[in-house]
Structure 1
Amino acid sequence: MDLALLISTFSAQNDSGKRSQQEVLYRSLRDMLLDGRIAEGTRLVSTRVLANELGIARNSAVYAYERLAEEGFVAATRNGTVTLWNGRARRDPRQAAAPLSISLSDRVRGLENAQPEPDRMLPFVPGLPSLDEFPLVQWRRCVDRAWRRMGPGQLAYGPAEGLPELRRAVAAYIKVSRGVRCETDQVFITDGTQSSLELCARMLADPGDYGWLENPCYGGARTAFRSTGLQLIPIEVDREGMAPTEDAWRRHPPKLIYTTPSHQYPLGSLMSIQRRAALVENARACGAWIIEDDYDSEFRHSGEPLPAIQGLAADAPVCYLGTFSKTMFPALRLGFMVVPPVLVVRFRDTLRELVHRGHPADQLAMAEFIDTGLFARHLRRMRALYIHRRGTLERALCRRLGAALTLRESSGGMHLSTELAVPVQDADIARHAFAEGLMLQPLSHYRVANGQAYNGFVLGYAGLADATIEKAATHFARIVERHGAIER
């Protein structure tokens, strides 16, 4: 054993003083064994000699040897402690190690996002509610009461389908507010819309099946379908929402159909009742399941919202998805899905193998928030606030960008969809804006496969105060003008 090398390694690792001497000695010996600097069959010096040479307590040397023995690096024999690990034979340190394969599966290839994680509080981030207006005091009280009601048994994993208190509250709420036909057992609590989408895609379709997506489309749905091996088929959107053709039904009969009928994301159109009925009829005829994402229907700005597709018929082949990320706050990570009666038992039994549900206090607090009317009161306040903020943004954009930006009509929601009316690419403008602290989400990024291309932006406004909207709109206009898109 090269004692001088060990002493050098020990001294280098011991300089920081952040670990105990026995831990440093163990790590030094382990590193030398792994690197092949101590050959297999080497007899280590006694713990007494090693401790004297290093100037440490003998117990520290004993600890290091015993730990290495537990991990199989050394063994105690009548002739002393002998090494069992041949690090040099496993990898010659003089040779460069072969690079590890970094290829990912076909299911996720192309999903990597190399862009830096954006600040979610930047102006115009889509989908972000008004967090500063959230009734945090009332929510804390609900959470506190939930923790006080919980016993030790509720600290274990909860039911895969979610706590019954929240399932009952959700069922009662969506029956009245969205015309959903459901009983409590049809409601499954999830970690949000993305979780619901992935579960539906995994449980209702097989790799290679056709999955229809609106074009343009919510990126999370595209990711869920791609990662489960579905073939993505873009279905164009018009003023009445998703518009599948007879040719699409014939050539690419879907297994799953993803749609946002109450407020198409991201363009904002409302699917007509005739289009909804036809979608259900055709889906039933070809054995497809409709995934209805009702992500922000609570924030309709004018008129009464059309009932959910799910409620059009008792046996509609629809899985209805909802989320509390938009109505409450994103960090809550609570959503829900309502499945047809014929799927209840299969979903429940399968989820018990796929999911270990947690967050019992949050689920109980959310149930109380709904049952006591605090949720409905909060939605009324936010609906009025978002109407005001949308108007503020529309006026600011018209003043500062004029004909360079066309605003799409929409009856509600938390974002504004726009089209650039000048010869510049939305992604180029967005890149410059991000470098200057502005989140302009390019409309072109929502394109599905070879679907129709769009050039514009999706601008979130729900979380922006009036002064911030005016400042951000001015900044937006300056960026567009600076890159030659507006003539002055």
Structure 2
Amino acid sequence: MSDIKLHRLLLAPLETNGEQTLQQQLFQRIRQAILTGKLAAGTRLPATRQLAQDLAVSRNTVIAVWAQLQAEGFLLSDRQGSRISNMAQLPQENQSHISDEITLSPRIAELRSSHRSFIQEMALRPGVPSLAHFPLAQWRRALNRVMLHQPQQLLGYGDPLGERTLREALAQHLALARGVRCTPEQIVITEGAQQALTLCVALLSSPGDIGWVEEPGYRGAKAAMRLGDMRIEPVAVDAQGLAPQPQDWQQRAPRLIYTTPTHQYPTGVIMSAPRRLALLAAARQQQTWIIEDDYDSDFRYSGEPIAAMQGMTQPTPVIYVGSFSKTLFPALRLGFMVLPPQLVAPLRPALHELLRGGNRPEQQALALFLLSGDFSRHLSKMRRLYRQRQTSLRQALQQTFGAQVPLLGGECGMHLVLSLAADQNDMRLVDRLIQSGYAPGALSGFYSGEQKQQGLVLGYGNTSTSQITAGVAQLARLLRGN
């Protein structure tokens, strides 16, 4: 670079009233000139004293800039002065041969979600609890108690498997409420159920292994299997739950099976006891692991709670998975998995490498929440609320579409499925509902194969009665073409 060009580049006026200081402006100017090649490698820069005089700034400002450039490797200094280092240059923005295409993993296309909105406050969205009814005062009291007694201790990393107090409280709760047979040593605390699913795939399968998923079924399980390069095989769900045929075990025996036996998602069917026992027996024979996702069975509205499949037999080939996203609130990001006893010792070293034991105050507070009875009381209140909201949704649908409106589910959980005619496009219908402020799920998006049933997964957990009435009315208008 000629002395004239160098002079023009360095001595362009600095803004005295700009958002950046004079030092920051000069640093960015020289750094960008080096990266784009305007200041070539080997170019000598003026002495700091002379440049400071020419720019009318203090010499300390220039010295600080030179020191920063040298620390980052842009400048080399010796007795003869400072010169630009040898380095690769960034391409100019106007170079036309630079491609705009970005190479991504082929998994990205497979992981495209049929969700149309992630705004949890939108009415009719499935899987979201009533946030307005969460007992904030009791939760705050538990957090305050934890931070009052041991604040510094909880700031560091904890046990990778989770806080001992939470695992003990959870083992007690699961035994009483869900019939799960386990010790605290079998429980691993995770950041939600999705991390638990990802860990199951990572630790219990190899690329190319077969994974069975329910058809229709939870997209998150399919996503976890795709990330593990598993071969996903959908298995149909009937009125008794997951329905594998003998030829399925012979021709496509799985390494992992994902199922929601207590309340199938999204159809709401319950896996019968004979079907559960048959699945357990076949899994033991084939050395297959079953992932039992018990995602919202705490909200059952008729009869006694249905016990988890995990507790039906011992030893069990079941990894029991759950979270507090639907029983408490999604942002808590606390879930868990219960390992079979025979997996605890083999998996512990890997879990210690993969997990870091975070969210310690929240875990301790949740333990208090469970032990104090606040959790059970909250569940009881939510069961009553969700039962009322489901009744309101059923009545609104029946009044609008007739007493024989085709609905699936309802004995448990926070959603109903409205079946639609085959000529309806549920994806397009959901898009139009979102524009009106309602975000149900599209039933066809839960299918893996070509045969897809059209329908809407209507959530009522975080939807008031007035929103339910208005939402059903808007749905009717859209279906009638108004």
TM range (shorter): over 0.9
Deviation of the 1:78 alpha carbon: 2.2
User: Does the residue aligned with 2:307 lie in a helix, a strand or coil?
Assistant: coil
Describe how 1:371-386 pairs up with structure 2 within 5 A. 371-386=371-386
Number of the residue aligned with 2:252: 252
Q: Which residue of 1 aligns with 2:297?
A: 297
- Three-state SS of the structure 1 residue aligned to 2:121 is coil
- 1:239 paired with 2:255, answer no
Counterpart residue type for residue 192 of structure 2:
G
Change (3 A) 1:133 1:258: same
Q: 1:107, 1:228 within 8 Å by CA — same for their partners in 2?
A: no
Cα deviation for residue 115 of structure 1 reads 7.2
Q: From the superposition, tell whether residues 232 and 379 of structure 1 become closer, same or farther in structure 2 (CA, over 3 Å).
A: same
Amino acid at match of 2:400: R
Normalising by structure 1, report the TM-score.
0.94
CA distance in 2 between counterparts of 1:123 and 1:475 reads 12
Question: Distance in 2 between the 1:444 and 1:80 partners?
Answer: 69
Does 1:41 find its partner at 2:45? Answer: no
Tell me the CA shift for residue 476 of structure 1: 1.8
The aligned residue for residue 52 of structure 2 is 51
CA deviation profile, 1:420-476 (whole Å, cap 9, x unmatched) = 13632111111111122221210000002x264110011110111211211121122
- Which residue of structure 2 lines up, in the alignment, with residue 271 of structure 1? 271
Whether 1:7 and 2:11 are equivalent positions in the alignment is yes
Q: Kindly state the Cα deviation for residue 83 of structure 1 after the two structures are TM-superposed.
A: 1.2
Asked if the contact 1:7/1:54 (under 8 Å) is kept, the reply is yes
CA distance in 1, matches of 2:404, 2:427: 16
Report 1:404-419 matches (<5 A). Answer: 406-419=406-419
Measure how far apart 1:199 and its partner are: 0.3
Q: What SS is found at the alignment partner of 1:457?
A: strand
Give the match for residue 462 of structure 1: 461
Rounded Cα–Cα distance in structure 1 between residues aligned with 2:7 and 2:404:
75
Deviates more, 1:145-154 or 1:96-105: 96-105
Q: Does the CA contact (< 8 Å) of 1:405 and 1:421 recur in 2? A: no
1:27 aligns with 2:28: yes
340-349 or 214-223, which moves further after superposition? 340-349
Task: Letter of the 2:7 partner, please give it.
Answer: L
Give the superposition deviation at 1:91: 4.6
User: Which residue of 2 is the match for residue 370 of structure 1?
Assistant: 370
Match of 1:79 in 2: 80
- Following superposition, the deviation at residue 153 of structure 1 comes to 3.1
Structure 1 window deviating more from structure 2 (450-459 vs 293-302): it is 450-459
Counterpart for residue 399 of structure 2:
399
Residues in 1 aligned to 2:450 and 2:212: alpha-carbon distance in whole angstroms: 12
Structure 1: distance between partners of 2:28 and 2:439: 47
How far 1:397 sits from its partner (Å)? Answer: 1.3
Q: Structure 1 segments of 4 or more deviating over 4 A?
A: 90-94, 113-117
Matched, 1:478 2:471: no
Displacement of 1:482:
2.0
Preserved CA contact (<8 Å) 2:256 2:291 = yes
Question: Cα deviation per residue 1:322-347 (whole Å; 9 max; x = unaligned)?
Answer: 11000000010011110100111222
CA distance in structure 1 between the aligned counterparts of 2:141 and 2:17, rounded to whole angstroms: 46
Distance 2:424 2:466 in 1: 28
Does structure 1 conserve the Cα–Cα contact (< 8 Å) formed by 2:160 and 2:352?
A: yes
Aligned residue pairs, count: 478
CA distance in 2, matches of 1:250, 1:280: 16
* Alpha-carbon distance between aligned partners in 2 of 1:96 and 1:113, rounded to the nearest angstrom: 34
Once residues 49 and 115 of structure 2 are traced to their aligned partners in structure 1, the CA distance between those partners, rounded to angstroms, is 56
CA–CA separation in structure 2 for the residues paired with 1:113 and 1:193: 18
For the pair 1:154 / 2:154, whether they are aligned, the reply is: yes
Counterpart in the other structure of 1:486: none
TM-score by length of 2: 0.95
Q: Provide the identity percentage.
A: 40
Contact 1:35 1:87 in 2 (8 A): no
CA drift at 1:480 = 1.8
Q: How does 1:288-327 map to 2 (within 5 A)?
A: 288-327=288-327
Contact residue 426 and residue 454 of structure 2 kept, 8 A: yes
Structure 1 range deviating more: 362-371 or 424-433: 424-433
1:343-373, Cα deviation, whole Å (9 max, x unpaired): 1122222111011121111101100111011
Q: Could you list the runs of 5+ residues in structure 2 that have no partner in the other structure?
A: none
Task: Report if the CA contact (8 A) 2:390-2:410 is conserved.
Answer: no
Whether contact under 8 Å (1:108, 1:227) holds in the other structure is: no
For 2:71 and 2:467, the matched residues in 1 are separated by: 61
Match in the other structure for 1:334: 334
| Pairwise CA distance, 1:7 | 3.2
How far apart, in 1, do the equivalents of 2:426 and 2:464 lie?
A: 25
User: Secondary structure at the residue paired with 2:433?
Assistant: helix
Q: Determine the structure 2 residue equivalent to 1:18.
A: 19
* 1:421 is aligned to 2:429: no
Query: How far is 1:405 from its partner?
Result: 5.1
- Cα drift, residue 154 of structure 1: 2.4
Which residue matches 1:163?
163
Residue 146 of structure 1: how far off its partner (Å): 0.9
